[in-house]
Structure 1
Amino acid sequence: MDFSSLPDDFFVKKAQFTRTIYRDEYPAINPQSPALKQAGKVIVITGTSQGLGRKAFAPAFAKASPEAIVLVARNAESLEIAATELHEIDPAVKVMTQAMDIQDKDAVKALYARIEADFGTVDVLINNAGTGKSILPIKDIDPDDFWYDFEVNVKGTLLMTQSFLRLLGPSKPGTIINVTSGAALSVLPHTASYSLSKLVQIQMQRFVALENPNVVAVGLHPGAVLTDLTWPHFVRFSKDTFGLAGGVAVWLATEQAKFMNGRYMGVTWDVDQLVEREKEIIDKGLLLMELQGTFGAQQFEK
Structure 2
Amino acid sequence: MNKRTVLVTGATSGIGLATARLLAQHDFRLIVTGRRKERLEQLSQELSSLTDIHYLVFDVREREAVQNAIQGLPEDFATIDVLINNAGNAHGLDTIQEGNPDDWDAMMDINVKGLLYVSKAVIPQMTSRKQGHIVNIGSIAGKEVYPKGNVYCASKHAVDAINKGMLMDLNPYGIKVTAINPGLVETEFSVVRFKGDEDRASQVYKGMQPLRPEDVASVILYTLQLPAHVNISDLVLLPTDQASATVVRRA
Return the alpha-carbon distance in structure 2 between the equivalents of residues 158 and 206 of structure 1. Answer: 13
Return the alpha-carbon distance in structure 1 between the equivalents of residues 86 and 209 of structure 2. Answer: 18
Aligned AA for 1:215? I
Change (3 A) 1:131 1:257: farther
Counterpart secondary structure, 1:71 = strand
Aligned residue in 1 for 2:175: 215
Aligned residue in 1 for 2:198: none
Return the alpha-carbon distance in structure 2 between the equivalents of residues 233 and 133 of structure 1. Answer: 16
Return the alpha-carbon distance in structure 1 between the equivalents of residues 101 and 119 of structure 2. Answer: 26
Aligned residue in 1 for 2:159: 201
Aligned residue in 2 for 1:105: 63
Q: Per-residue deviation at 1:138? A: 0.3
Aligned residue in 2 for 1:86: 47
Asked if structure 2 preserves the Cα contact closer than 8 Å seen for 1:147 and 1:193, the reply is no
Return the alpha-carbon distance in structure 1 between the equivalents of residues 2 and 151 of structure 2. Answer: 38
* Matching residue within 177, 180, 186 for 1:226: 186
- Deviation readout 1:177-199 (Å, 9 max, x if unpaired): 11111122122111111111011
Aligned AA for 2:108? F
Aligned AA for 2:23? F
Aligned residue in 1 for 2:247: none
Change (3 A) 1:75 1:46: same
Q: Per-residue deviation at 1:118? A: 3.3
Return the alpha-carbon distance in structure 2 between the equivalents of residues 238 and 215 of structure 1. Answer: 35
* Matching residue within 95, 111, 116 for 1:158: 116
Aligned residue in 2 for 1:74: 35
Counterpart secondary structure, 2:61 = coil
Identical amino acids, percent of aligned pairs: 23
- Deviation readout 1:93-149 (Å, 9 max, x if unpaired): 111111110111111111221236333411111111101012111000012211220
Q: Does 1:245 align with 2:206?
A: no
Counterpart secondary structure, 2:90 = coil
The two structures, once aligned, show a CA RMSD in angstroms of 2.1
Q: Per-residue deviation at 1:257? A: 7.9
- Deviation readout 1:264-289 (Å, 9 max, x if unpaired): 212359xxxxxxxxxxxxxxxxxxxx
Counterpart secondary structure, 1:183 = helix
Asked if structure 2 preserves the Cα contact closer than 8 Å seen for 1:71 and 1:97, the reply is yes
Change (3 A) 1:167 1:184: same
Return the alpha-carbon distance in structure 1 between the equivalents of residues 20 and 126 of structure 2. Answer: 20
Aligned AA for 1:267? L
- Deviation readout 1:49-103 (Å, 9 max, x if unpaired): 111111x21011111112x201100000011111122225x1xx11111111011
Return the alpha-carbon distance in structure 1 between the equivalents of residues 125 and 204 of structure 2. Answer: 39
Aligned AA for 1:99? V
Asked if structure 1 preserves the Cα contact closer than 8 Å seen for 2:9 and 2:32, the reply is yes
Asked if structure 2 preserves the Cα contact closer than 8 Å seen for 1:39 and 1:65, the reply is no
Counterpart secondary structure, 2:84 = strand
Moved more, 112-121 or 161-170: 112-121
Q: Per-residue deviation at 1:161? A: 0.7
Q: Does 1:61 align with 2:31?
A: no
Asked if structure 2 preserves the Cα contact closer than 8 Å seen for 1:135 and 1:191, the reply is yes
Counterpart secondary structure, 1:170 = helix
Asked if structure 2 preserves the Cα contact closer than 8 Å seen for 1:39 and 1:64, the reply is no
Between the two proteins, the alignment pairs up a number of residues equal to 226
* Matching residue within 249, 253, 265 for 2:235: 265
1:33-44 superposed matches below 5 A: 39-44=2-7
Return the alpha-carbon distance in structure 1 between the equivalents of residues 189 and 77 of structure 2. Answer: 33
